[in-house]
Structure 1
Amino acid sequence: MNTGTATTGAKPPSLFRQRDFLLLFTGQTSSLFGSQITYVAVPLTAVLLLQATPFEAGVLGALGMLPFLLFGLFVGVWLDRRARRPVMIVADVVRAVALAWIPIAHVLGILNIAQLFAVVFVVGTMTVFFDIAIQSYAPGLIGRDRLPEANGKLQISDSAAQVAGPGAAGVLISALGAPAAIVVDVATYVLSSITVIGLPADKAPESEAAAESRSIRASIREGFAVIGKNPMLRWTTAAAVTINLFSGGLMAVFFLYLVHVGMGAAQVGLIVAIGSAGALAGALLTERLTGRFGVGSMLILSMVLPGLGYLVLAAVKGNSAAAVAAVAAGSFIVQFGVPIYNVNVMSFRQVYTPDGLLGRVTATARTGILGSYAVGSLLGGALGSAAGLRPTVLVAAAGTFAAALILLVSPVRAVRRLNDPSPEAEPDTAVQDQTS
């Protein structure tokens, strides 16, 4: 596996000319598009075919995120004790098999909502394993100095899938029915597993004896300790948890707010579509903007943009063409910053974490981030009921500005390139080496 690229004056060749990255990109791109189809097809299967109640639909949505909160920290410890590539292969195969059960059970006439719950939970659990494994495996495959570029290219795929995937899902579901459309996602997971099989094998980051000598609880503490002791990880994680807390609160009332001001389904759909286009534009420009203005500056900007978009949303009243255009522009601004945020937060974590701790640190950070989003959703719903929808949007805007302020007063703001750590991070390198 590649452990880095040599530092020379010449511009490195495109990642797409590297076989290993091309395999990884191909598998992940196909899987991302397939997942967008399932994202639409599974709820429609529940509602249209199984007559799911609103409560059952809510449970179905929650089961996709629940595995990360239940298992994320433990999976991080487990993955720091063994090779990651075999785990990725198994996770892809299990997800394919689990999803395949939906069209099979539908054809047999035995599909029910409990089976749908089980499939979503199994797929979510395997996604926990796969996501932590691939983020831990990628630095050794690509080289830490090219991680921002690689993450940026993968983010473009993710954003493109969000733009094109739902439309493709609509066509497939109309032609084949929701359960049959899920077969496409099954095929993408199979393709992903094949591409991962073609990647270089990796080894466990630390010896089995060294790993087993520590308890699970002690290993989890190490993940928290690395984030707490390294200023780059500490500040970026704190900002990420903060912005997800308030973003979760905003999204809890977003659609209710649009309906409250008088917008219909067609107008809401247009707003979401324009927001998705903003995400794609942000993904396409992330690498160029980050290279020009620096990682720290762009990460701060990515947290300011949602606040600006939320303020536009809070100012809108009524459902006039001007109001729809304003909200659509605000949605574009919000979503434009999302891929910039995703790429840089992930890259910070991968660059500043030793290989032997990547699983734990990734799991710790993502559990905190996803957990804060879930808590924010609950608080946003409660605040919307108690204080009203518009005040909730304003609170969410203030929270995103607070996240940007966290980074503005931190050493992160001075970081221009992730392969040139700022001096503030150097004292903690020895600490990381001791714990790995």
Structure 2
Amino acid sequence: MPPASSSAASDSSRLAPSGLWRDADFRRLWLGQTASQLGEHTSLVVLPLLAVLTLDATAGQLGVLRAVGQAPILLLALLAGAWVDRWRTRTTMVLTDAGRALALGAVALACLSGRLGMSGLLVLAFAVGALSVFFDVAYQASLVRQVERDRLLRGNSALEGSRSAAQIGGPALGGALVSLLSAPIAVASGALFFALSFLSIRRIRRAEAVPRRPEHPPRVRHRIDEGLRFVVRDPVLRAVCLASAAFQFAFAATMTVYLLFLSRELHLSGTVVGLALAAAGPGALLGSVLAARLPGRFGHGPVLVCAAALGDGVFLWVPALHGSFAVALPALLGVGFVFGFGGQLVNVTMMAVRQAVTPAGMQGRAAATITFAGMGLTPLGSLFGGCLAGEWGLRTGLLVAAAGMMLSPVVMALSPLARLGRELPTPRGAPTGG
């Protein structure tokens, strides 16, 4: 049964940014999310490389694999939002971590037994993606239930630093394990990270301020409809949806072609591919740190538009790469760093804006609706990227996909997001039905 309301938790029990690292529960949350993100970013590299290097997947098959892993966003995001708004985020994150550990463990066992085929990999990729949808929605709602609204930007900056650390280590570790050891070990490493996250988040003891359940709670479909209407009617959240949709579709297409371009056009090993992807990590770490300062100095709108244009535009240089390894690797590291910096600056700032304009009882559904509208297009983007690579070639396909990423900063520049100032906007009204 759903947990009893914890809305009576006092403000003094919430985390103050100045005391984040002195709080044992925050350290457990930080460690758990870092481990979970590390497992996710390792798996995002390992599973496609496993398909390309071990199962000899074609461009079309790789696009299908990525699309299947991303399909749960389209199918389950709205349901996840309605679920999270009624349950403790800690419970959701713990259960999904356990499930992802078991799913990746099954992939490792199939590899060891020699029974892993493309169909089995597709099934397990879907399972991991489905569980990740619930974890990510809970992750986005968890901070709002623990810190004051006027400290969301700093809180997000602190927690998003863990995502940056995962981006540094995950891709490099995944590529190195696939190249130097074996596919089962590479996959098993992701399972171990999810298990560590499970153990850490499970130890959190702080009472969570779950929105109070009404005496006659509306049905799930009604709660989902409330979330959709709330986001569509809010001009800021509507702009976030459109910008996210444009970016996620084009980015999914770009990454599908990019992985093939690095391994088959530039002839880079799995280790080097991992290093190129990991370069986004240090940039993201810098972006998460500056996200706590730049919006307050230059305004949230200008930071969003400029960071998106910089981070997305840098991929336009990649199709021009030719020549030796000594030239390609530094260029790819630079591209990854700039993309990570701009992308993380956008992520932290936009998440704080979204959280600030959304009432507490709508946080899960608002996050899920934006995830559905944005990342729900990633399966189509992955399939589109596979078609581009197959029909137009890797170099031209990558250029077209990368150009599509520039739609996101254009949408931001033409929307109310561009006019946001130094102060976060105030919460909008929400439906009272719960």
In structure 2, relative to structure 1, the CA distance for the partners of 1:45 and 1:254 (3 Å cut) is: closer
Deviation at 1:30, TM superposition (A): 1.8
Matching residue of 2:3:
none
Matching residue of 1:254:
258
Of residues 141, 148, 161 in structure 1, which corresponds to 2:146?
Answer: 141
Correspondence 1:241 to 2:238? no
Matching residue of 2:208:
202
Deviation at 1:45, TM superposition (A): 5.5
Deviation at 1:339, TM superposition (A): 0.8
Distance 1:174 1:391 in 2: 28
Deviation at 1:172, TM superposition (A): 4.9
Matching residue of 1:218:
222
Distance 2:313 2:70 in 1: 28
Of residues 264, 267, 287 in structure 2, which corresponds to 1:264?
Answer: 267
Percent of aligned positions that are identical = 34
Within 5 A, what are the aligned runs for 1:14-413?
Answer: 14-43=19-48, 51=55, 53-54=57-58, 58-104=63-109, 109=113, 111-113=115-117, 114-169=119-174, 172=177, 177-199=182-204, 200-202=206-208, 204-207=210-213, 209-211=215-217, 213-214=218-219, 216-255=220-259, 263-265=266-268, 271-313=276-318, 316=320, 318-319=322-323, 328-382=333-387, 396=401, 399-413=404-418
Are the equivalent residues in 2 in contact too, given 1:3–1:144 (CA < 8 A)? Answer: no
What SS class does the counterpart of residue 13 from structure 1 fall into?
Answer: helix
Provide, for residues 385-418 of structure 1, a one-character-per-residue CA deviation record: whole Å limited to 9, x for no partner: 667766666655654444323333433334345x
Computed over aligned residues only, the root mean square deviation of the Cα atoms, in angstroms, reads: 3.7
* Letter of the structure 2 residue corresponding to residue 263 of structure 1: L
* Letter of the structure 2 residue corresponding to residue 226 of structure 1: F
Distance 1:304 1:365 in 2: 21
What SS class does the counterpart of residue 323 from structure 2 fall into?
Answer: coil
* Letter of the structure 2 residue corresponding to residue 148 of structure 1: L
Greater Rg by CA: 1
Within 5 A, what are the aligned runs for 1:3-18?
Answer: 13-18=18-23
Unaligned ranges ≥5, structure 2: 1-5
Q: Given the two structures, how large is their TM-score scaled by the length of structure 1?
A: 0.80
What SS class does the counterpart of residue 293 from structure 2 fall into?
Answer: helix
Identify which range, 382-391 or 110-119, moves more after superposition. 382-391
Are the equivalent residues in 2 in contact too, given 1:20–1:141 (CA < 8 A)? Answer: no
Deviation at 1:281, TM superposition (A): 3.4
Distance 2:207 2:379 in 1: 36
Provide, for residues 2-25 of structure 1, a one-character-per-residue CA deviation record: whole Å limited to 9, x for no partner: 77689xxxx951422233322210
* Letter of the structure 2 residue corresponding to residue 202 of structure 1: E
* Letter of the structure 2 residue corresponding to residue 207 of structure 1: R
Distance 2:412 2:228 in 1: 19
In structure 2, relative to structure 1, the CA distance for the partners of 1:57 and 1:324 (3 Å cut) is: closer
* Letter of the structure 1 residue corresponding to residue 198 of structure 2: S
Are the equivalent residues in 2 in contact too, given 1:307–1:396 (CA < 8 A)? Answer: no
In structure 2, relative to structure 1, the CA distance for the partners of 1:207 and 1:155 (3 Å cut) is: closer
In structure 2, relative to structure 1, the CA distance for the partners of 1:135 and 1:48 (3 Å cut) is: same
In structure 2, relative to structure 1, the CA distance for the partners of 1:101 and 1:208 (3 Å cut) is: farther
Are the equivalent residues in 2 in contact too, given 1:205–1:355 (CA < 8 A)? Answer: yes
Distance 1:312 1:46 in 2: 27
Identify which range, 396-405 or 345-354, moves more after superposition. 396-405
Deviation at 1:222, TM superposition (A): 1.4
